A and B are shown apart, each in its own frame.
Chain A
Amino acid sequence: MEADELKQIWQAYDKKIEEARILNLQSWVLNFRAFESIQMQKAKSKLGALLTVKWIAVILGIAWVAFLVYLIYHSLSYANIFFVASASIVAIITSIAIVVYIRHIVILYHINNCESITETQKKLASLQLSTLWIVRILLLQMPFYTTFFYTPYMIMHEGLRFWLISLPVTLLFGALAVWLYKNINFKNEDKKWFKLLFNSIEWTSITKAKQFIKEIEDFKNDRQ
């Protein structure tokens, strides 16, 4: 078979598609004429779903931070110092994640499908990949969920119960959070614990994005 034959088959394909009416183009081009439907199409847009998820995350995040700020404001006293400090740190870490998500939204709105395919696809995949960074940041909150109920009274009067149970638990969570922050990256993707944590369906998009970025690089550098 010659190369020209491939092209001839491809050209015949045009006619076949037309005859088979695989896509009902005519009907939705007519729909498109009723231009009001454009907003509906936008809402239905599958690619817009990613934006929706990020907007929901931002709104929920802002609501959570607002709730924490309200609690902090109404708890400002020496007796509640640990609660105020813990809630403040959680609010700050959540705010960082919100800012990153807002940055994602801005990038998504500006993703330009007119750029070259490798360029646009790499940007989109990198965006998905950076979700992993947000997870790392959010994990840093972990130890502060074990300290919000601490009080100066507790430290002074609870004796062994505080030093042998509460504090070790906090230190354990702290160490775990720092360890996860340092180790959650794709250098460790072959490790058992990484697979255990990130092998569920929710994380597939991140691992696939990583693979796709490699595919793009190989494609650009002509590596098979």
Chain B
Amino acid sequence: MAYPDKAGFLKLIQENKGIIFKICNAYCYSPGHREDLAQEIIYQLWKSGQNFNPDFKFSTWMYRVALNVAISFYRKEKRSGDVISLSTHTAEIEMKEDDTNEHETNILLLQQFINELKPLDRALMILYLESKSYGEIAEILGITETNVATKINRIKNNLKQKFSTIKE
């Protein structure tokens, strides 16, 4: 697949906006900064178009660019002390727990647990939850498939344990 023209690019962004949303939420807690990050990701996706390798799936390439931009952005924001603490985020969750159903609480908890992971582990779990194959995850992250499997297993067990502890 060749890199699309402007109209095609915007169509692809619309189709894949869920990915951008989730990556932004995983690496940015402040709504204002999330918008900045989303803009940065779209800008970098367009800019990186010249390096698009048609042998790759668009989504694989998109994850690489989006996660790279998000991690760089996150590290920069963290350095400048602009990152809102997780406690603010947790407060939001606690507030909503009273008036939302269990289903929604689970979403917020999963989001919180993912946000507590290290930036690279976070990328790994996002890709896993997006149902990417181990091969594709390995390619995006630049590690071996065995490593992907071991890490996913470990983090998944951690997450499950956290869910169980909270629900007890």
Contacts and interface: CB of A to CB of B under 8 A. Distances in A.
Interface of A: 1, 3, 6-7, 9-10, 12-14, 16-18, 22-25, 28-29, 32-33, 35, 38, 41-42, 44-47, 49-50, 112-121, 124, 204-205, 208, 212, 215-216, 219-220, 222, 224
B129 A6 contact: yes
Contact of B123 (A49, A117, A220): A117
Contacts of A205: 79
Interface of B: 6, 10, 13-14, 17-18, 20-22, 24-25, 31, 34-36, 38-40, 42-44, 46, 48, 51-53, 61, 64-65, 67-69, 71-73, 75-79, 103-104, 106-107, 110-111, 118-121, 123, 129-131, 139-143, 147, 150-151, 154, 156, 159-160, 163-164
If over half of A's interface residues share one DSSP class (helix, strand or loop), that class is named, otherwise mixed; here it is helix
A29 B72 contact: no
A117 B65 CA distance: 8
16 contacts: A3-B160, A6-B156, A9-B106, A10-B130, A12-B103, A12-B107, A22-B21, A29-B42, A41-B39, A42-B43, A47-B40, A114-B52, A117-B120, A117-B123, A120-B68, A215-B119
A50 to B, nearest CB: 8
If over half of B's interface residues share one DSSP class (helix, strand or loop), that class is named, otherwise mixed; here it is helix
Nearest to A120: B68
B143 A16 contact: no
